[in-house]
Structure 1
Amino acid sequence: MHDPNLGVNLLMKRLLSILRPLSVLLLSAGVPLAATAQSYPSKTVGVIVPYSPAGPTDLVGRIIAQDFTEKFGKPFIVENKTGASGIIGVDAIAKAKPDGHTLGIVPVACVSVYPPLYSNLPYKAADFAPVSMLATVASVLVVNASTPAKSLKELLALAAAKPGALSFASSGVGSQAHLAGELMALTGNVSLLHVPYKGTAPAVNDLLGNQVTMMFGQISSVLPHIKAGKLRAIGVASLKRSALLPEVPTIAEQGIPGFEAVSRYALMAPAGTPDNVVTLLNEKATSLLAKPEIKDKFAGLGIEPGGGTPQQLAATIESETVLWADVIKKNNIKVE
């Protein structure tokens, strides 16, 4: 008697004979399948921080590492790879195996500002897979308390009256404080004298001693001096006011629309990291940053939690590259 299932069975066997070698071919070619994310991570994950312990980059890195260790059930270990203004650590991220087991906490400036700033940079923005924006740290324009200007308009008027006479300090050539000062000079149409220092502390010291007129400083580093009345806050360099200085208007509010000079920190992976692993990491980071206790901890340090998709992070990197490349070119700034 004819078996009605015989034809179906033969068809299934033929399909399996085709699909089995095809699946082997896909796996051997490194095509990321759904199982990649399900089995991730398969071992300890290194989280490279390109700066020394205790700074904002390191702080954000350790919060991420602790949370991911709990979420994934595998150790995420912070490794501080310091040197060359962050370049050594960031380059190590770029050159790591793109399997999701090496990640990095990368200051966005290292991939947006550095390419037009350094002629011999060993990496480029395309060497990274953006994962998630983690944090934004605002800076504030401060002057010595003896300076007569009490607003941005008054400060720009002083600068316009004596071109090149007013000076601004920074932690070094090419630093965020330096570029912020140059951007303000360009957009405010004034001439300012840049005075670079080897670090933030000596710059603040000379500002307190009235050796320089002004500087852009991260809020947490200058807030005690503002509260003590030794420095005066002129304007916040983010697009919205800071919770630490709610009474201080932004620079954008005071006549330079869209002015923004902030430090951003992002979770990045080497280019080529499987998309589903990047998506998984982004989801975990987003859920962490939404926690009220994380928001409170960040707020006390003047840090705004990040968020958004990998695509939005990539767009931010691109827009910052365009902005700062223009400032660097117009002021002929180079770091060798």
Structure 2
Amino acid sequence: MSPEGMSRRHILGAAAAGGALAAREARAQNWPERPIQLVIGFLAGGSNDSVARIIAPRLGELLGGTVLVDNRPGASGTIAMVHVARAEPNGYTLALAGASPLSISPHTYASIPYDTSRDFVGVAGVALTPEVICVTPNLGPRNLAELVELGKRRDLTFSSSGNGGLPHLAIELLRRSANIRIIHVPYRGAMPAAVDTISGQVNGIIMDLPPLAPLIREGKLRALAVASERRASLLPDLPTTVEQGFPEVLATNWFGVMAPARTPRPIIERLHRAITEVANSPEIQANFRAQGIEAMTMPTPQAFDDFVKREAERWGVIARAAGARAD
């Protein structure tokens, strides 16, 4: 091809690219023009769902549109993440995701069809909640020391919301730290796991605080510890794992909003400001606290991205040490 032909092709290509960029910027300025889908990877009734439904109405008001919660459960939240990764990067399909699909699943699945750092961009941190260690009331133990004593004499069974997620790794942390044999029994969701623990089909459960809090208050489950450095405001009399001599057993689930990679920066920045304002509002924080959730906001989208990477490093070490697999 002649130099003239090459130049013409380059000019046309540059013009097309420039036109596409201008069109994206124009769409970003008019965003949102239709409902925004906030995709979560777990069933209704869990912490992820609770956080999404608490913030969605107010977030829609601030953005001048509607935010709809879209439950796509399965595979520790990875099914939802695949859906968002493949969505158009236009600000209308977002993920409200937590530790499991963003920082743990890459280490517990042999392969997953997305790369957190490549396929997503962090938008904003939203909230966090600790894991709580509970047993069926007729088991006997009332604290971790008594649980360990029982575990030295017999095998224990503990349920979780599924293989390869945060509760699963929290069980592994307890097993290794206490040097007792715990058989992990995975379920499809928090409530099925809780039901079988209440009935005594399994001895205990480790799960996010929100779905277990009502069951603890009603006496259907006995809480032994919160897996955190400080006590939960919803259960102020429940000692932490640190207080009971197990400082390695720390497991906090956190939630933040991710967008598909290449989402226009003006949309990311606007979302960050709105989400942070929502999470920091007294009304939303009161709703969070009533369910055992606390706000977790960060100054910039990049700060949330960096946080996700640090969490991935920490849980990667734990998953490899435990040999925990989701598949």
Which TM bucket (shorter chain)? 0.7 to 0.9
Provide the rounded CA distance (Å) in 2 between the counterparts of 1:62 and 1:36: 27
**1:163/1:28 Cα in 2 relative to 1: closer, same or farther (>3 Å)?**
farther
Question: Which one of the candidate residues 104, 114, 123 is aligned to 1:131?
Answer: 123
Provide the residue aligned with 1:151 in structure 2: 143
SS at match of 1:282: helix
Identity %: 34
TM-score by length of 1: 0.80
Q: Which moved more, 1:199-208 or 1:129-138?
A: 199-208
Q: Which residue of 1 aligns with 2:291?
A: 301
Is the alpha carbon distance of 1:102 and 1:148 closer, same or farther for their aligned partners in structure 2, counting shifts above 3 Å?
Answer: closer
**1:16 counterpart residue number:** none
Cα shift at 1:254: 2.0
DSSP 3-state at the match of 2:102:
helix
CA distance in 2, matches of 1:193, 1:292: 42
CA contact (8 A) 1:156 1:190 kept: yes
Q: Mind listing any 5+ residue stretches in structure 1 that lack a counterpart?
A: 1-23
**2:125 aligned with 1:106:** no
Q: TM-score, normalised by structure 2?
A: 0.82
| Count of matched residue positions in the alignment of Structure 1 and Structure 2 | 312
Residue 120 of structure 1 aligns to which amino acid in structure 2? S
Match of 1:97 in 2: 88
Contact 1:164 1:193 in 2 (8 A): no
Alignment of 1:58-207 (within 5 A): 58-126=49-117, 127-159=119-151, 162=152, 165-207=155-197
Contact 1:32 1:274 in 2 (8 A): no
2:239 aligned counterpart, secondary structure? coil
Aligned-pair distance for 1:65?
Answer: 3.3
Which range is displaced more, 150-159 or 181-190? 150-159
Alignment of 1:15-54 (within 5 A): 27-28=18-19, 30=21, 38-53=29-44
Shift of the 62–244 alpha-carbon distance from structure 1 to 2, 3 Å rule, reads closer
Listed as ranges, the gaps of 5+ residues in structure 2 are 1-14
Letter aligned with residue 144 of structure 1:
T
Give the letter for the 1:56 counterpart.
S
State the match for 1:18 in structure 2: none
The amino acid that maps onto 1:231 is L
Tell me how far 1:84 sits from its aligned partner.
4.2
Q: Does 2:322 align with 1:331?
A: yes
* CA deviation after TM superposition for structure 1 residue 94, in Å: 1.0
- Determine the C-alpha separation between the residues in 2 that align with 1:38 and 1:197: 44
The answer as to whether partners of 2:38 and 2:69 remain within 8 angstroms in 1 is yes
| Structure-2 residue corresponding to 1:317 | 308
The equivalent of 2:222 in structure 1 is 232
CA contact (8 A) 2:158 2:183 kept: yes
Cα distance change, pair 75–325 in 1 and its aligned pair in 2 (3 A): same
Deviation at 1:203, TM superposition (A): 3.2
- Please report how far the alpha carbon of residue 53 of structure 1 lies from its aligned counterpart in structure 2 after TM superposition: 4.4
- Find the structure with the greater CA-based Rg: 1
For 1:195 and 1:75, locate their aligned partners in 2 and report how far apart those are by CA, in whole Å.
Answer: 39
Deviation at residue 81 of structure 1 after TM alignment: 3.5
| 2-structure distance, mates of 1:211, 1:250 | 26
